[in-house]
Structure 1
Amino acid sequence: MNPHFQRLLGPGKFSIGLELPLDNDWSSVGKHLRIEESRSFGVPDLKQHARLAQLADTSGFRALWVRDVPMYDPNFGDAAQVFETFSYLGYLAGITSNIMLGTAAVVLPLRQPWLTLKAANSIDELSEGRLLLGVASGDRPVEYPLFGVDYDQRGAHFRSAVELLKSQGTGFLPEGIELLPHREQRAPLLVAGLGQQSPKWIGEQMDGWLAYPGTAQEHRRRVGLWREVGGDKPYITFLHLDLVADPNSPMKPLRFGGRGGRNSLIDALEELREAGVQHVGLHLRHSTRPIAEVIEEMAQYVLPWFHSAV
């Protein structure tokens, strides 16, 4: 197993990352600024993105997760981190040193498979093995006609792309032809959802599962299902968080997460760890406080609870 992957997600491990964009544009403060700047809902403020990514790296977070949203669709209302996924990961690889770089997740049916393989290998090489390649079949029907892809065939496209990524092109190329860079140890392949496949196929073919946000009870049930098909392969999820200033504020429900102080956050993360979750990517767009302030508080008070043995 990739040593970075083992350190982050090996058996018995638990770690915390951040989901990009690092902006609080879904909060009341962020909404006010967004309207002032004439940005549509779901389009974040990226002026501090590089500084905040570097802060996350030096503060001890284990992964930065980026999403693959080719087209901004107001009906979905989320442009993610705006930048093209692999281009942005190349940039992040150059300005960070230790943090893993994950995709959650690349929409395989909308990408030419050979170029996806070359892009992934390039990022993994440039980052010295820090890529976590999350993949999916996609869920925004409006995008598929634009890319000349039949939405109903996305499952078949997903399977063939996974086969190529796992093989690193071996057996698919004419004699004497190579795809460079070649990685002797490919990036871990993680799946968001089921990619229009059976759970059995996913458990056999993928190196880990990116599960949708949920309660500890929901994750306990999902982890049990994942263990049946994926064995001890990593189970990863995400949590929407508004970390308030009062450290003793109880955690109150927020869609896909919660709003509360750092002590209740520690309790919530402990619940997820006990449920079998091995990594949590925190989503901070609901944050009522500056993102840098939240990152620094978690680095000082929350990460040490979970990362000392990672």
Structure 2
Amino acid sequence: MKFGVNLPNYGPEATPDALAGWALRVESMGYHYAMVSDHVALTPEVQHLFPAPFYDPLATLAWLAGVTRTVGLGTTVTILPYRHPVHTARVAANIDRFSNGRFVFGAAAGWAAGEFAALGVPHHRRGAISDEYLAAIKACWADEVASFEGAHVSFRDLHTGPLPVQRPGPPVWVGGHSPGALRRAVRLGDAWHPTSVTGDWLTGVGLPALRRIAEEQQLPVPDVSPRIKLRLTPRPTGPGRLLGEGTLAQITDDLGLLQDLGARAVVLDPTYPGDRREAGRTARDLDVLETLVKEVIDVDAGRVR
């Protein structure tokens, strides 16, 4: 199992130097991925959880590709309907080139209705648009000259190079918890990328549904690469807690559970949407990540100790 970290690419503490510092520290600790999230129009509903400024994930990762050397770089997640798929495919392929094949494309349909309205994208059609856009993106990655025909996007004989280093394209981690998201993960993803879930929901609801849809579609079950919270508490957290919240022992148990479930990767998320990241927060988060490497996870072996 590989281990990653969701970097805070938003809020008053987010600066180019801070993002570089996060990425380099995560890389130096041996974590396998440094990932960032996505919003484009910071409407009030978005700002409530993700205060400005918000650094664009694809631009940020293109820059971090030149700052880092070994750590994987990815989105958790790119909101598919916000950008034309040809443009998304091209920028993602560029990042994969700049990083020499270290890019992971996390993708989902999005949620913020006000943001969709600001961008002129129909919120109620976001699932269908996402399915088509992701298929179009993969078509652009697959061939030097690509064509695609759909209800929401069509193109013929586009020269799409440079192609990604990774063939036939970067790994696709599909986020979301709805039946439509699970179908998208089965049909178009290399991994399912649920976020902020409980262990009971993952084992009792999410994974059984994923397996059932794969069986219905007669397709392989995708790998699982969740993003979980990273909130260390001095006392045990009670029933209903999200994976990654609680004492060091509870977090260790959560990582062990994901390892036992055969997860391909887990992304640790210290960003706590809605929090304002007070002074000293970054140092504390990095200390927790360091503690995990020293006491809980063996990043070289890819396992929980």
SS across alignment from 2:230: strand
Per the alignment, residue 43 of structure 1 pairs with 11
Equivalent of residue 272 in structure 1, options 228, 244, 258: 258
Query: Partner amino acid for 1:88?
Result: T
Alignment equivalent of 2:67, drawn from 76, 88, 95: 95
- Mapped to 2, the partners of 1:250 and 1:89 lie a distance apart of 36
CA distance in 1: counterparts of 2:109 and 2:231, whole angstroms: 30
Matched, 1:188 2:171: yes
Query: Is residue 17 from structure 1 mapped to residue 4 from structure 2 by the alignment?
Result: yes
Code of the residue aligned with 1:216 in structure 2: it is G
Shift of 1:78: 2.3
Conserved 8 A contact 2:108-2:181: no
**TM-score between the two structures when normalised by the length of structure 2:** 0.78
**Matches of 1:240 and 1:281, distance apart in 2:** 8
Say whether residues 1:301 and 2:301 are aligned partners.
Answer: no
Q: Which residue of 2 aligns with 1:28?
A: none
Distance between the aligned counterparts of 2:241 and 2:62, measured in 1? 32
Compute the displacement of 1:261 (Å): 4.2
Q: List gaps (5 residues or longer) in structure 2.
A: 149-154
What is the CA-CA distance between 1:87 and the residue it aligns to?
Answer: 0.2
* Structure 2 residue 144 is matched with structure 1 residue 161: no
Give, in whole Å, the separation in 2 of the partners of 1:217 and 1:174: 46
> Is the contact made by 1:86 and 1:119 (CA closer than 8 Å) also made in structure 2?
yes
Q: How far did residue 16 of structure 1 move? A: 1.8
Indicate yes or no: 2:263 matched with 1:292: no
Is the contact between residue 65 and residue 103 of structure 1 (CA under 8 Å) also seen in structure 2?
yes
Equivalent-residue separation in structure 2 for 1:126 and 1:202 (angstroms): 27
Q: Paired residue for 2:236? A: 251
Partners of 1:157 and 1:106 lie apart in 2 by: 14
Contact 1:240 1:284 in 2 (8 A): yes
Distance in 1, matches of 2:270 and 2:181, equals 32
**Distance change in 2, residues 1:142/1:52 (3 Å):** same
Cα distance change, pair 307–243 in 1 and its aligned pair in 2 (3 A): farther
Deviates more, 1:92-101 or 1:70-79: 70-79
SS of corresponding position for 1:197 = helix
Residues 1:174 and 1:46: Cα distance change in structure 2 (over 3 Å): closer
Task: State the number of aligned residues.
Answer: 272
Give, in whole Å, the separation in 1 of the partners of 2:108 and 2:178.
5
CA distance in structure 2 between the aligned counterparts of 1:104 and 1:84, rounded to whole angstroms: 12
Counterpart-to-counterpart distance in 2, 1:256 and 1:271: 13
Most deviating of 260-269 and 67-76: 260-269
1:136 touches 1:191 (CA, 8 Å); kept in 2?
yes
1:85-113 per-position Cα deviation (integer Å, ceiling 9, x unaligned):
11001111111122211212111111111
Aligned partner of 1:227 among 202, 205, 211: 211
Greater relative contact order structure (CA < 8 Å, 6+ sep)? 1
Q: Which runs of 5+ in 1 are unaligned?
A: 1-13, 23-41
Q: CA RMSD in A?
A: 2.8
Structure 1 residues 62-211: aligned runs within 5 Å:
62-76=32-46, 77-79=48-50, 82-168=54-140, 170-172=146-148, 174-175=156-157, 177-183=158-164, 184-193=167-176, 197=180, 199-211=182-194
- Listed one character per residue, the Cα deviations across residues 249-286 of structure 1 (whole Å, up to 9, x for unaligned) are 55325963455443442222112322443322111135
